[in-house]
Chain A
Amino acid sequence: MQKTSYDIVIFLVVVSGLILFLIAFIISILYLYKKKQHSFVQNLEQLKSDHEKAILNTQLEIQEQTFQHISREIHDNISLSLTLAKLQLNTLNWEDKETMQEKVESSVVLLSRSICDLSDISKSLNANIITEHGLLKAIDEEVTQLKQAQLFTVEYTCTGNPVFMEPQTELIIFRIMQESFNNIIKHADAKNVSLQLHYNDVAVTINITDNGIGFDKDMAGKNGAAGLKNIESRTKTVGGKFELKSIPSQGTSITFIIPYSNI
C-alpha cells in the first residue's frame, strides 16, 4: 500500500514538474516576445515617420518645381503675350482705323492665348481632381489635354481592377507621369506615345513609351539627368520601382511599379 502511494507521489511530482517547466517556458517566450515586439513597434513607427517625412519632402520638392514651372510659363508665354498686347494697345493710332483694328484684333488673340495658357496651368496644377475623383480621372484629363495639344498621338489603356491608393501617393504618381510627359514634349520629338496602366493584386504598373529620338542612358547619367533622378527618387518615395529603357533614334520606355501598400 505504501509502495502504491509512493508511486503516485512520484508520478504527480514528475507531472507537476513538467507542467511547471512548460508554464515557465511559455511565460519566458511571452516575455521575450513582448520585449522584442516593443522595439519592433518602435522601429515601425520610426519607419512610418521617416516615410511621412520623405513624402513631405517630395511634396515640397514638387511644389518648388511647380512654382518654377509657373514662373517660367508666366515669364516666357503669358507675360510676353500680355506685354505685347499692352504695347499694341498703347501704340494705337486712333486716326488710322485700319491699323488700329489690326492691332486690336492681334491684342485680342494675344489675350485669348494668355487666358488659355493660364487655364492650362491652372488645370495642370489642380490636385483637387486627385482627391475628389482619383488618379484615373486625373490621367484621363491629362491625356485629353495632350491629345488636344496635337504634339503627338496618345494611346491610353488601363487594365485590371483599379485600386484607390492614398491621395498623397496618387498625387506623386500623377506628378511622376506629368514629369515624364514633359520630358517627352521637351526632348523626345515623338510622334506616338503610349500610356499603359495595369492594376494587379499588389501593385499598379505604369508604362510610358514613345517613338522619339531616345538617348544614351550612360550619357544621360554623366550629364546629370536631374529630371530622371527626380522621377526615380519620387518612385522610391512611394515604395515603387523604376525602369528605363532607351535606344537612340528608336524611342524610350519608362516603367513604374508602385505597390498599393508602400511600407
Chain B
Amino acid sequence: MDFENLFNKFQENYYSEFILLIVEITALILAITYARTYKTGKLFIIYIAFDLSIFLIDLYIMNNSEISIKFTSLFLRTTNTLIALIELLVYYYFFSKVIKSTRLKKVLIIISILYSLIVCSFLFINFISITARLPYIAKVIGALEFCLLLLVCIFYFIWLLQNVSSEPLLNRPSFWIMSGIFFYSIFSIPYYLISNYLFLNRIANQNILVALFYYLPFSINFIFLSKSFLCKKPLTI
C-alpha cells in the first residue's frame, strides 16, 4: 500500500476521509466502553466495526494500483449496498425497541424483508452481469435506504413530542441517534440521486461534493452516535 498516495488522496478530499476514520474509531471505542452491556449497544458495535473494516478495505483497494478498476468498482458497489442493508436493519431494530408498538414492528419487518430482497437481487445481478446502469441502481438503492430511514426519523420526532418524559431531551441517547441518522439521510438522498450524473459528466469539484455531501454528514452521524454512547444510559431511552 502506498502511504504517500493515500495521504495525497486524503488531501484531495480535504481530509474528510481521514476525519471520518478518526470519528468512526472514536465511536467504536466509546460504544465498546459505554454501550456494550446493552443489546442495542452490541448491535451498534457490530455495525460500526463492520462499517470501519469495509472503509479500511475500500481505502486499501482504492490506493492499490495492482487491483483493477473493474474489481474496485464491483467491490465498492457490493460493500456499499451491504452496508446500506445492515444500516437499515440496525436502525430499524433500534427504532422498534424505542417505540414499543407491535403494529409498527410488523411494518418495519415487512419493509426490512422487502429491502433485503431488493439488495439480494441487486447483488445477484451485480455478480452475474455487467451493465452501465449498475452504479446508478446501486445509488438508487442507497437513496431508497435513506428515504426509509428518513420516514422513521420523522415518525420518531412526532412520537417524541407526543411521549414526553421528565428526562431532559439532550440526555436521551435515542434523540442523538435519531438526529444523527436524520442529518445523514437529509444530505445523502440528493447526493445519492445526483452523484452518478455529476461524476459521469465529469463536473468540476467532485471531491468537494463528496467531502461535503458524503463524508461530512457520515462523520456527523458518528459524532451523534458517540454523544449517545456518552449519555451512559440504555440507548433506547
Binds A, one of B1-9, B51-59, B161-169: B161-169
Query: Which parts of B163-195 form the interface with A (CB within 8 Å)?
Result: 164-166, 168-170, 179, 182-183, 186-187
In the complex, which residues of chain B have a beta carbon less than 8 angstroms from the beta carbon of A41?
Answer: 166
Q: How far apart sit A243 and B216, CA to CA, in the bound complex (Å)?
A: 60
- Main SS class of interface, B: helix
- A34 to B161 Cα, complex, angstroms: 9
Within the assembled complex, what's the spacing in Å between the Cα atoms of A44 and B179? 27
> Quick check: A22 and B186 within 8 Å, CB to CB?
yes
Q: What residues on B are CB-neighbors of A26 within 8 Å? A: 179
Scan residues 1-41 of chain A and give those whose CB is less than 8 A from a CB of chain B: 3-4, 7-8, 11-12, 15, 18, 21-22, 26, 29-30, 32-34, 36-37, 40-41
Q: Tell me which of A8, A30, A40 contacts B208 (CB under 8 A).
A: A8
0/1 per residue, B31-69, Cβ < 8 Å to A?
000000000000000000000000000000000000000
Q: How many residues of B contact A (CB 8 A)?
A: 22
CA distance A40 to B212 in the complex (A): 40
Q: Which residues from chain B contact A37 at a C-beta distance below 8 Å? A: 164-166, 168-169
What is the interface of chain A mostly: helix, strand, loop, or mixed?
A: helix
Count, chain A residues at interface, CB 8 A = 21
CB-based contact B164/A33 at 8 Å? yes
Residues on the A chain within 8 Å of B187, using CB: 15, 18
> Measured between alpha carbons, how far is A33 from B169 in the docked complex, in Å?
7
Within the assembled complex, what's the spacing in Å between the Cα atoms of A126 and B105?
53
In the complex, A22→B205 CA distance in Å? 24
Judged by a CB distance under 8 angstroms, whether B204 is at the interface is yes
Beyond the given A8-B205, A33-B160, A34-B169, could you list 8 further A-B residue pairs with CB under 8 A, ordered by the A residue number? A3-B204, A7-B205, A11-B212, A22-B183, A29-B157, A30-B170, A33-B169, A37-B168
Contact surface of B with A, Cβ cutoff 8 Å: 157, 160-161, 164-166, 168-170, 179, 182-183, 186-187, 203-205, 208-209, 212-213, 216
